Amino acid sequence: MEAQGIAVAEAVGLPFTLKRVRPKGAMRLVPAPFQILLPPKALLRATASSDALEPPWPRLVISIGRRSVPMALAIKRLSGAYALHIQNPKVPARLFDLVAAPAHDNFEGPNVVTTFGAVHGVTPERLADAGNQFAPRIAELPHPRIAVLLGGESQAFSFPPETATGFGAKLAILARESGGSLLITPSRRTRTDTLEALAQAVAGVPHFVWDSKGDNPYFAFLSLADAIVVTEDSVNMVTEAAGTGKPVYVQALPGRSTRLSRFHALMRERGATRPFEGRLESWRYVPINDTEVVASHIRKALGLESKA
């Protein structure tokens, strides 16, 4: 979620600070829709933050996730800052200046920008920089190079080692039959034993598995891959992969989410993704990235758009 907020902030072009917030004490027992009824100063006093929530106030406040809604609205009421919320805020959209909600959230309103999937920071420039820096480390790996982006446990999905073993076997067959290689990176939610099981399953084919040491080569893999396979549990990773314009395959996991099912259906209809069935195909689509659409609305409202 932080990545989405940062992507919009970078696209707007103003200097920004990331603040992680959560209610503290008895406020943790108060549902977010009721927290917004409290006086702003009282609410902020009952908020734990990674950095102080105090003046000087910003011109723009970006919040993401429903738990951050009360704090963002409190800052807006105290400062008059322009307020953007990303995703469905679970409160009336009119409380914000702008809401950027993905199509699969089914959230609409006069001040709602509907995005296709998650907003993200995948740009040609970022991919080129990351790819150029990392390329020497995988220079010996043959094409086609297949990036594998791993999610993990969530409320809706699980990713146990036995699933990883089957997934890894399918990837190994694909690499062997295509003469290619695998570029594998886990996320914070990937279980250690799950990653170990997958790594063991692909041990016999050319591959690179990020070991969580140093910087994650995630953007480098997106840049250097010929095709991308992503587990279905992450809207962010699937949308970021689709920001490359490359073929994106989605690997099913145990579990189900109605909301994510809508998202994946929309991505398939858009022509960006296909289910992973162990084979490579080639197709084209316009890269998916609505971040600039959202940022443009904000720059215009704040008078930051170029007059040229």
**pLDDT confidence band for 1 (50 / 70 / 90):** confident
* Cβ atoms of 152 and 182 closer than 8 Å: no
Tell me the per-residue pLDDT of 262-305, one tens digit each, with 9 for 90 and over.
999 999 999 999 999 999 999 999 999 999 999 999 999 999 97
Q: Say if residue 308's pLDDT is above 70.
A: no
User: Mean of the per-residue pLDDT values for the chain?
Assistant: 95
Tell me the per-residue pLDDT of 204-241, one tens digit each, with 9 for 90 and over.
999 999 988 888 999 999 999 999 999 999 999 999 99
More confident: 21 or 308: 21
Domain extent listing, the chain: 2-120+292-301, 124-275
pLDDT recorded at residue 306: 60
pLDDT recorded at residue 7: 95
pTM of the model: 0.89
Residue for token pair 């790594």: 199
Q: What is the CA radius of gyration of the chain?
A: 21
Average pLDDT, integer, range 100-122: 94
pLDDT recorded at residue 290: 94
Q: Say if residue 123's pLDDT is above 80.
A: yes
pLDDT recorded at residue 71: 97
Q: Is 145 helix (H, G, I), strand (E, B) or coil?
A: strand
What is 174-221 written as a DSSP string? HHHHHT-EEEEE--TTS-HHHHHHHHHHTTTS-EEE--S-SS--HHHH
Nearest to 42 by CA among 26, 66, 19: 26
Vertex 97 angle, CA 96 and 99, to 5°? 70
Residue type, 111: N
Q: In whole angstroms, what is the distance from residue 74 CA to residue 212 CA? A: 38
Q: Say if residue 148's pLDDT is above 80.
A: yes
pLDDT recorded at residue 307: 45
The CATH fold of domain 2-120+292-301? Rossmann fold (3.40.50)
What CATH code would you report for 124-275? 3.40.50.2000
Q: In whole angstroms, what is the distance from residue 78 CA to residue 73 CA? A: 9
Average pLDDT, integer, range 41-63: 95
Q: Say if residue 125's pLDDT is above 50.
A: yes
